[in-house]
Chains A and B, each alone.
Chain A
Amino acid sequence: MIPELGNLALVLALCMAILQGTLPLAGSLTGNARWVALARPVAVGQALFVTFAFAVLVHAFAVNDFSVAYVAANSNTALPLVYRITATWGGHEGSLLLWVQTLALWTIAVAAFSRQLPRATTARVLAVLGLVAVGFLCFMLFTSNPFDRALPAPPDGRDLNPLLQDVGMIVHPPLLYMGYVGFSVAFAFAIAALVGGQLDAAWARWARPWTLVAWTFLTLGIFLGSFWAYYELGWGGWWFWDAVENASFMPWLVGAALIHSLAVTEKRGAFRNWTVLLAILAFSLSLLGTFLVRSGVLTSVHAFASDPRRGLFILVFLAIVIGGSLALYAWRAPTIGLGGRFALFSRESLLLVNNVLLLVAAATVLLGTLYPLFLDALGGGKISVGPPYFETVFVPLMIPVLVLIAVGPFVPWKNGSLRDVAVRLRPAALLAAVLGAAAFLVLHVTLAVALGLLLAAWTLIATAQHLVRNLLHAPHGTPLVARATRQGAAWWGMVVAHAGVGIFVIGVTLVKGTETADDVSLRVGATASAGDYLFKFESLEKIRASNYVGARGTFTVTRGGERVATLYPEKRFYTVQQMPTTEAAIDRGFARDLYVSLGELTKDGTWIVRVQHKPFMGWIWAGALVIAAGGLLAAIDRRYRSRRVPAADAARAVPDIAIPVPSTSRSV
């Protein structure tokens, strides 16, 4: 009975979403204040129904209701409760419900925190979010309903994929979806602006914090996916340029471009068209990602569903949403003005260069990901495009980005002098060059590694220089705390995020450039080595848990005779799905990771073991976290939290509703 209520809730949510998507939008154009006022309550109502449906599904998992087909496919009585609950989003249908649930959360947030926006704008933004919800709710109800029954109910379920029975599963999808779906808010703001023909600096100020928060979530989501793959998949890799990984990386790149572009539009009113286009693009890539992993057009370890019929539905949805928004853009963008002037060498120009670079990077990832499909469709045969391609092409693209990341903050708005900036940055450049040369000549790293370290050093040194310079530049006698706070959270966000990039680059450069691994067949008592670490296979014991059996090895790691760590890699065999998993053992350190994983037991009784030494692996994670922290800092800047409508905005927020209403009054 209860699952039927869940289904009913989804149907009701769809009805409300249809209302949400149409009436307020129409009302904002025709001046119907009642329809405009409908936006908030209808949106919140839709969101609540979705939340109810989500709760119903979680409940079905918690009580092992195997009469629900989706629960039977993804759960099992032997599965621990926490994983039964996270199994809610372990498969295609449930993850769609998670998507819609996340959209519901963002919708409620927009409804709650948009008091300072003109009501017409809020109405339009919520309407667009409603239309997106309509699409996903229809997709669920018509092709992928999580509440479909399996009658008669099987006595037990088919269990959750063992790879997903992990802490990472609890947080990775929700965070990732918060990012993907969060870009729909920026998208909605863009559409609202195009519809209303109202696109100014105030619009950018409204849109920016939403975009920053979404981008921060996406950063964390991608980081977690990578972190999880690292220890769960068992071979020490953490980024494979797999189709699904690329599907998350593209919106991240465009989102980063969008954040920078919004900064310019907010501060100087320039780039308006371009920013709107980026907002549309970022969300479009999120949607494209949804299509790619569920339609079967690309193979991936990560693909949810390979159903061309479902793929067709999403494709049509893509055509309507993306095609529609780009058509709207083509029609309305010319009416939006140019914005402020700036010189050829200015911060605005450099930020535009940043945008071009990030967009070319995103386009490159898209090209590589879809090229096998293009070629096959044109009858050109089947090829594979994998890490060798991406690394060869992507890494050089990042070099100019890293060069500019340091330069940008030093260039003033409107008009800058190349000579002045060059002089100011000369010491930092020299120092970075010296460090790079030292790495090459003294530490004997490869040229590529030296270059990577040079660029990272350049980023960190210049960022630090900028930081110090700004802190020093205050009236004499100002205490440090005051100096720090007067910069504003957004500035700190930039500094922190840029520093995070530098840290990340150090990690990637050193791991990729200097890691060592060894794949050996070992008997108990034998040793293997990687770097100057010796791994001794001390013992092996059998293990058993509620839904798996396996073997656990004990390895002691020594270096120069001194014991460094004891590691316990496991090989598990999940009995319901008859699937083995490798649980790697990792000793994480400040300057290196030591990694051991058990492969197979061979016929002659030896284990294939992989041991790895990965210098500065932790800096990759640290860098990603620091970048996310930067994004968060920028989002909580005081100027976004002000409830007052600045006088300039009030005058410009021309109500296109016939009834004159003071813009500071509370509606509904």
Chain B
Amino acid sequence: MRDRAAALLLCAVLAPAHARTADAALDHRVQRVTEELRCLVCQNQTIADSHAELAVMLKHQVRDMLARGATEREAVDFMVQRYGDFVLYRPPVKAATWLLWFGPFGLLLAGLGLLFARLRARQHDIESDAPDEELPA
């Protein structure tokens, strides 16, 4: 009997701590989702950062959804269904955005490749009449 009371007491003491960590984990997930979403009434802010009423309201909605068991993916999709791709700060990877996502890497390869080819070609250009220009220090 005493053990049970002690156990209950222990649970009561530990419960808020447990709720705290569960809350922190939920907060973390809410933060992750809302950092990816654009505040539609602001000039250029995430829902996570914005204090606009719409943003606060949507943040609560995301929180509710995640608390009820939705995945982060589902929460984001919920917003996209209603507001379109514009609400995503990470543009979806689809045919229209291939250039955006793969362009930089492609450009890097092309740039380095071109450079390498030009430098190689240059090795064969003999500049017999252009002396190396070294300015006195």
Is there direct touching of A and B in the complex, by C-beta distance under 8 Å? Answer: yes
- Say whether B90 contacts A386, CB under 8 Å: yes
Chain A residues lying within 8 Å of B97, measured Cβ to Cβ, are 371, 375, 383
B3 within 8 A of partner (CB):
no
Cβ of A384 to closest chain B Cβ, rounded Å: 5
**Which of chain B's residues has its CB closest to A344's CB?**
B119
User: In whole angstroms, how far apart are the Cα atoms of A340 and B51 in the complex?
Assistant: 59
The 9 closest A-B pairs by CB, nearest first: A386-B89, A269-B133, A388-B90, A364-B104, A356-B111, A340-B132, A301-B43, A235-B49, A382-B86
User: In whole angstroms, how far apart are the Cα atoms of A242 and B43 in the complex?
Assistant: 10
Contact of A343 among B56, B87, B123 (CB under 8 A): B123
Q: Beta-carbon contacts of B28-40 to A below 8 Å, as 1s and 0s? A: 0001000110100
**Which of chain A's residues has its CB closest to B114's CB?**
A356
Chain A residues lying within 8 Å of B136, measured Cβ to Cβ, are 646, 648
Q: Which of A140-148, A189-197, A198-206, A559-567 contacts B (4 or more CB under 8 A)?
A: A198-206
Residue among B86, B108, B111, B127 with most chain A CB within 10 A: B108
Known interface pairs A386-B90, A387-B35, A388-B36; 12 further A-B residue pairs with C-beta atoms within 8 A, sorted by A's residue number: A235-B49, A243-B44, A268-B132, A268-B134, A338-B122, A340-B130, A340-B133, A353-B112, A384-B85, A385-B91, A388-B89, A600-B51
Given contacts A344-B120, A356-B111, A388-B36, contact A639 B44 (CB under 8 A): no
B27 within 8 A of partner (CB):
yes
**Which of chain B's residues has its CB closest to A608's CB?**
B51
User: In whole angstroms, how far apart are the Cα atoms of A414 and B132 in the complex?
Assistant: 10
Chain B residues lying within 8 Å of A368, measured Cβ to Cβ, are 100
Using C-beta atoms within 8 Å of the partner chain, give the interface range for chain A: 35 or more
Chain B residues lying within 8 Å of A267, measured Cβ to Cβ, are 134-135
- Say whether A205 contacts B135, CB under 8 Å: yes
Q: Size of chain B's interface in residues, with CB distance under 8 A?
A: 48
- Say whether B130 contacts A338, CB under 8 Å: yes
Chain A residues lying within 8 Å of B35, measured Cβ to Cβ, are 387-388
Contact of B96 among A235, A303, A380 (CB under 8 A): A380
**Which of chain B's residues has its CB closest to A265's CB?**
B133
User: In whole angstroms, how far apart are the Cα atoms of A343 and B122 in the complex?
Assistant: 9
Chain B residues lying within 8 Å of A426, measured Cβ to Cβ, are none
User: In whole angstroms, how far apart are the Cα atoms of A363 and B127 in the complex?
Assistant: 33
Given contacts A205-B135, A340-B132, contact A237 B91 (CB under 8 A): no
User: In whole angstroms, how far apart are the Cα atoms of A392 and B88 in the complex?
Assistant: 14
Q: Beta-carbon contacts of A479-523 to B below 8 Å, as 1s and 0s? A: 000000000100000000000000000000000000001110000
**Which of chain A's residues has its CB closest to B126's CB?**
A341
Q: Beta-carbon contacts of B87-107 to A below 8 Å, as 1s and 0s? A: 111111000110111011101
Chain A residues lying within 8 Å of B91, measured Cβ to Cβ, are 371, 383-385, 389
User: In whole angstroms, how far apart are the Cα atoms of A293 and B123 in the complex?
Assistant: 45
Chain A residues lying within 8 Å of B105, measured Cβ to Cβ, are 393
Contact of B44 among A235, A300, A353, A389 (CB under 8 A): A300
Residue among B123, B130, B133, B136 with most chain A CB within 10 A: B133
- Say whether B104 contacts A383, CB under 8 Å: no
- Say whether A349 contacts B84, CB under 8 Å: no
- Say whether A269 contacts B132, CB under 8 Å: yes
User: Can you list 13 A-B pairs, Cβ within 8 angstroms, ordered by A?
Assistant: A302-B43, A343-B123, A344-B119, A360-B104, A363-B107, A364-B107, A375-B97, A380-B96, A383-B86, A385-B91, A387-B89, A389-B90, A393-B101
- Say whether A201 contacts B89, CB under 8 Å: no
- Say whether A389 contacts B86, CB under 8 Å: no
- Say whether B133 contacts A303, CB under 8 Å: no
Chain B residues lying within 8 Å of A386, measured Cβ to Cβ, are 38, 44, 46, 89-90
Chain B residues lying within 8 Å of A302, measured Cβ to Cβ, are 43
User: In whole angstroms, how far apart are the Cα atoms of A152 and B89 in the complex?
Assistant: 46
A381 within 8 A of partner (CB):
yes
A154 within 8 A of partner (CB):
no
Given contacts A352-B115, A388-B90, A518-B27, contact A639 B103 (CB under 8 A): no
- Say whether B115 contacts A353, CB under 8 Å: yes
- Say whether A360 contacts B107, CB under 8 Å: yes
- Say whether B104 contacts A393, CB under 8 Å: yes
Chain B residues lying within 8 Å of A269, measured Cβ to Cβ, are 132-134
**Which of chain A's residues has its CB closest to B130's CB?**
A337
A397 within 8 A of partner (CB):
yes
A240 within 8 A of partner (CB):
yes
Q: Beta-carbon contacts of A389-401 to B below 8 Å, as 1s and 0s? A: 1001100010000
Q: Which residues, 319 to 374 on A, are CB-close (under 8 Å) to B? A: 337-341, 343-344, 349, 352-353, 356-357, 359-360, 363-364, 367-368, 371
Given contacts A381-B96, A389-B91, A389-B100, contact A344 B43 (CB under 8 A): no
User: In whole angstroms, how far apart are the Cα atoms of A359 and B115 in the complex?
Assistant: 13
Chain A residues lying within 8 Å of B111, measured Cβ to Cβ, are 356, 359-360
**Which of chain B's residues has its CB closest to A647's CB?**
B136
Chain A residues lying within 8 Å of B96, measured Cβ to Cβ, are 375, 380-381, 383
- Say whether A240 contacts B44, CB under 8 Å: yes
**Which of chain A's residues has its CB closest to B113's CB?**
A356
Chain B residues lying within 8 Å of A388, measured Cβ to Cβ, are 35-36, 89-90
**Which of chain B's residues has its CB closest to A646's CB?**
B136
- Say whether B132 contacts A384, CB under 8 Å: no
- Say whether A381 contacts B132, CB under 8 Å: no
Contact of A360 among B45, B56, B108 (CB under 8 A): B108
A599 within 8 A of partner (CB):
yes
User: In whole angstroms, how far apart are the Cα atoms of A490 and B86 in the complex?
Assistant: 47
A606 within 8 A of partner (CB):
no
A159 within 8 A of partner (CB):
no
- Say whether A392 contacts B90, CB under 8 Å: yes
Contact of B27 among A488, A519, A599 (CB under 8 A): A519
**Which of chain B's residues has its CB closest to A200's CB?**
B133
User: In whole angstroms, how far apart are the Cα atoms of A356 and B115 in the complex?
Assistant: 8
Chain A residues lying within 8 Å of B108, measured Cβ to Cβ, are 356-357, 360, 397
Given contacts A267-B135, A368-B100, contact A356 B112 (CB under 8 A): yes
Chain A residues lying within 8 Å of B31, measured Cβ to Cβ, are 517, 519
B137 within 8 A of partner (CB):
yes
**Which of chain A's residues has its CB closest to B45's CB?**
A301
User: In whole angstroms, how far apart are the Cα atoms of A339 and B133 in the complex?
Assistant: 8
User: In whole angstroms, how far apart are the Cα atoms of A340 and B133 in the complex?
Assistant: 7
Contact of A301 among B27, B44, B123, B137 (CB under 8 A): B44
User: In whole angstroms, how far apart are the Cα atoms of A235 and B42 in the complex?
Assistant: 14
User: In whole angstroms, how far apart are the Cα atoms of A599 and B36 in the complex?
Assistant: 20
**Which of chain A's residues has its CB closest to B30's CB?**
A519
User: In whole angstroms, how far apart are the Cα atoms of A386 and B38 in the complex?
Assistant: 9
**Which of chain B's residues has its CB closest to A243's CB?**
B44
A583 within 8 A of partner (CB):
no
Contact of A266 among B46, B49, B99, B135 (CB under 8 A): B135
User: In whole angstroms, how far apart are the Cα atoms of A313 and B90 in the complex?
Assistant: 33
User: In whole angstroms, how far apart are the Cα atoms of A388 and B32 in the complex?
Assistant: 11
Cβ of B73 to closest chain A Cβ, rounded Å: 14
A664 within 8 A of partner (CB):
no
Cβ of B88 to closest chain A Cβ, rounded Å: 6
**Which of chain B's residues has its CB closest to A376's CB?**
B86
- Say whether B87 contacts A300, CB under 8 Å: no
A299 within 8 A of partner (CB):
yes
User: In whole angstroms, how far apart are the Cα atoms of A323 and B63 in the complex?
Assistant: 51
